[in-house]
Amino acid sequence: MEENNKVVEKKKGMVLFKKGFKTEMLLVLILAILFIFFSIASPVFFKVDTLMKLLKQASIYGIIAIGMVYVITSSGIDLSVGSVVGLSGVIVSMAMTSGWGIVPATLIALVASALVGMFNGVLIFNANVPPFIATLSSMTIVRNMILLITGAKTISGLPEAFTGIASGSILGVPNLFLCWLAIILISLFISKKTIFGRNMYAYGSNKEAARLSGINTRMTVYGVYVYSAVLCGIAGILLTSRLGNGVPTSGDGYEVDAIAAAVVGGASMDGGVGSVIGTVLGATIMAMLRQGGTLLGINSFIMEIIISSLIAVAVIIDMLRKRGK
């Protein structure tokens, strides 16, 4: 009887861990520690302007990271996210400087982003190309397409109504954060309350079992990569609004932060486990590290080493926890 109780307790603990409870509590603690440390170490960190800048930066990273956690949960990876951010920004800039309005220009950029996601899905599901290779290929193709169509030149002269989106706020809350909050709520609903969300977790846990149980595996793969690409498209548009120009190199390297945010947030690289809230916290940690590092004058190369190391540490922790089960 005592042994049965222990088994039940162990199962309950596993359920809590799978839901990201322990990971999310730990991330909140880490955020609190970092906040206190940077507030003490830098006299300007706790100022309103600095915190607003942190929120804006975290929002861009966070939107991309949510798309990434969907992909990782389905046992995939998306290295093309940074390139899609750049593509979206360049397309929306070119469209508006050519006389298109903000809404149609935005729609064109999002459609182009979705097509990249669909291309990734087709390569991975239909051509059976490993996700790492497929998205690495997309990353290279898209980035070079951007440089080709722009001549590697920055696109300026964007309308003030567009550039004002990122700099604006509602009741003191930055528009960028409000956009991120909306995407968080939508993504939580999709992952927790829809058939697609359940299929994503099932497919990531066991592809063959998902197929045999009647899950539309094709649409699941297409869906996660298209959703990731569309979120990157939104992030690219918002980033372009913030920069005030269409920068061909924008989004370069963002895949590292997105993967770090998702993995630190509790996502398993083996698939089947991922948390939107954990990813949000992970993205906030990434943004806080960068912001705090800049204020303290830490070398940017050192920050890249620290953030990249976090991925390895998080994966190692995930492996150790699985062995413990």
For position 30, what pLDDT does the model report?
87
Residues spanned by the domain of 60: 50-296
* Average pLDDT rounded to a whole number, residues 302-308: 81
Give the number of other CB atoms < 10 A from CB of residue 256: 17
Q: Could you read off the pLDDT of 89-141 as tens digits, one per residue?
A: 999 999 999 989 999 999 999 999 999 999 999 999 999 999 999 999 999 99
CA gap 111, 21 in Å, rounded: 36
pLDDT at 187 over 80: yes
CA gap 238, 242 in Å, rounded: 6
- Is 279 contained in some domain? yes
- Is 167 contained in some domain? yes
- Is 264 contained in some domain? yes
DSSP lists the bridge partners of residue 22 as none
Mean pLDDT (the chain, rounded)? 87
- Is 103 contained in some domain? yes
CA triple 208-125-107, angle to 5 deg: 130
Q: Number of structural domains, the chain?
A: 1
- Is 312 contained in some domain? no
- Is 32 contained in some domain? no
Q: Could you read off the pLDDT of 21-70 as tens digits, one per residue?
A: 477 888 888 889 988 998 888 888 888 888 888 888 899 999 999 999 99
- Is 69 contained in some domain? yes
For residue 70, what is the domain's CATH number?
1.10.3470
CB-CB contact of 278 with 24 (8 Å): yes
Q: What is the pTM of this model?
A: 0.88
Q: Would you place residue 146 in the very low, low, confident or very high pLDDT band (cuts 50, 70, 90)?
A: very high
* Average pLDDT rounded to a whole number, residues 200-217: 92
Q: Could you read off the pLDDT of 6-19 as tens digits, one per residue?
A: 433 334 333 333 44
pLDDT at 323 over 70: no
- Is 137 contained in some domain? yes
